[in-house]
Chains A and B, each alone.
Chain A
């Protein structure tokens, strides 16, 4: 038998650092986009259309990952696309987390009619296919960054609510909650000062997961051309363009896909890694 625990810890450590490294690159690319991208992401040059990446025959120097059908530099568009992805991840992720976790804490701790109402709402929400719900909301709210963020929050709060409610229910049965009651803590103080810190590791792991999901939802909406204006480069938009010309220029699809793939993977693995590292039971 292998030393199970040791190998699992080492693997978890490598996973945490690799995903942190990719996320750091992602954030830097987004912040420094205007300074580090080699070309203007919107500059079209039909003479330079569908140039292959630098290591292939027929490439033009300076266009490292090639160009799309309009002659726009793929690398610069990926770097600029990281900006929208980062904004959506941070704002939509955090807002979804706040709304869902609050409702979950309230339902799990106060029980009674609040719990019945919130749980019924979750049931109703679970009856909608998320992507279809998102598309429907965008159709109603109109396209644009605010609509995309709002749609993600409206759809995905249930993910936090379900998990946080269950976790709060468990914590509420613990001895320390009884002690707090005996010590004369108010209900609100027990919830915020005693239960919340114990539910927090779960919430944080879910939050990073949700950031990855937000990036994907934005990409899906861009893919069906329902996200933000088309002159802003987005990974989903690039993928949609690349999809139509895969037989002529595969690089227009492959590189944004790789960026999206690793970003989503990194968010999920980072959350898991954090939880394993800070969960007192696993540690």
Chain B
């Protein structure tokens, strides 16, 4: 019962947040200095042309009426037409979304793998040099953002020891037999492991750059809660039963420490997705973020607006999903 009520109230706050996002985006776009119409017209347009476009876009109405019209369109999935490409914003944006999603998910997997491994190693060798080394690595990983990791990786794996692809999503020479933009997913389904290897080689650096800060956070938090649980009664009991220290950590401490880490990973995952904007630019990966920066440089406001709203929807739903998962997994909430 409580779970249901919680779900409903959480859904309502999600909707309020999304409405707030729409208001902010509208306000930011409309305070743009300079006439948005002027940017859509070729030079030499007459005063009458401007007036006609203004009526077409509803810019002659009050700001409140403009918002109602704009918001109605957005609700119908009509984000307008991109100024630079003359194509509908929605289809442009949805075309790029899979690339960014695949990158974010691979990065998340890497972050969890690195973070959990370091946390287990640090707990296994607690109080020794290994743990001290992991602490220093965590400290650096936490303080240095993805943008700098991306640059460092380019130098390392792109120049000094060039083993990975330094730009793009897939090598242009490859013929892609795909019907969707989910290249990674489709290459697995169609058993095209040559394409899969190429995709992963392109993805390695951007994904690792995104993963490192999150890996440090996971490692730090999980190590802390593991170190608390390895001294609890059930771990001591397991040890007296003759379990090795590694087995105590893996089978006793880890399942009991995973929940707080899981919540944190969820929240931090949105930061990771946000990081794709600059990382995609840095490594010329053809995703949403790269498109957003091009849109800003071309002053393509309808496109920017569409991308920002899509990201906001993505963030809000990731947060919602995390909260719901937590509610289902947490026995205190489930049985209340």
Contact = CB atoms under 8 A, between A and B. Distances in A.
B261 interface: no
Main secondary structure of the interface of B (DSSP, over half): helix
Given A137-B28, A269-B139, A269-B143, A127 B21 contact: yes
Contacts of B18: 127
Contacts of B31: 140
B147 A220 contact: yes
A182 interface: no
Contacts of B319: 126
Contacts of A226: 296-297
Interface string A198-213: 0000000000000011
B24 interface: yes
Given A140-B31, A257-B148, A131 B155 contact: no
Contacts of B32: 139-140
A10 B329 CA distance: 41
Interface in B145-174: 145, 147-148, 151-152, 154-155, 158-159
A17 interface: no
Nearest to B289: A132
Interface residues of A, number: 50
A72 B147 CA distance: 25
A15 B28 CA distance: 42
Interface stretch (B58-66, B107-115, B200-208, B274-282): B274-282
Contacts of B145: 213, 216, 264
Interface residues of B, number: 53
A216 B213 CA distance: 14
A261 interface: yes
A174 interface: no
A253 interface: yes
A132 B152 contact: no
A39 to B, nearest CB: 25
Contacts of B278: 131, 220, 223-224
A135 interface: yes
B270 to A, nearest CB: 7
A58 B231 CA distance: 61
A67 to B, nearest CB: 19
Contacts of A185: none
A72 to B, nearest CB: 20
B304 A124 contact: no
A212 to B, nearest CB: 7
Nearest to B30: A140
Contacts of B139: 15, 269, 272
Given A129-B311, A257-B148, A123 B17 contact: yes
Contacts of B273: 129
B212 interface: no
A156 to B, nearest CB: 13
B29 interface: yes
A22 interface: no
Given A132-B274, A133-B308, A140-B28, A225 B158 contact: no
Contacts of B140: 265
B155 A7 contact: no
Contacts of B152: 257, 261
Interface in A233-272: 239, 243, 246-247, 250, 253-254, 257, 260-261, 264-265, 267-269, 272
A223 to B, nearest CB: 8
Nearest to A138: B296
B142 interface: yes
B148 A261 contact: yes
Nearest to B316: A127
A264 B144 contact: yes
B151 A139 contact: no
B137 to A, nearest CB: 13
Nearest to A225: B297
A281 interface: no
A224 B281 contact: yes
B143 A268 contact: yes
Nearest to B135: A11
A278 interface: no
12 contacts: A124-B24, A127-B18, A127-B315, A128-B21, A132-B274, A135-B292, A136-B304, A219-B147, A224-B293, A226-B296, A239-B151, A243-B282
Given A127-B20, A129-B311, 18 more contacts: A7-B132, A124-B21, A128-B311, A128-B315, A131-B277, A138-B296, A139-B299, A139-B301, A216-B145, A223-B147, A224-B296, A224-B297, A226-B297, A239-B151, A246-B155, A250-B159, A253-B151, A268-B143
6 cross-chain pairs, A with B, having the tightest CB-CB distances, nearest first: A129-B274, A268-B143, A124-B20, A127-B312, A131-B277, A139-B296
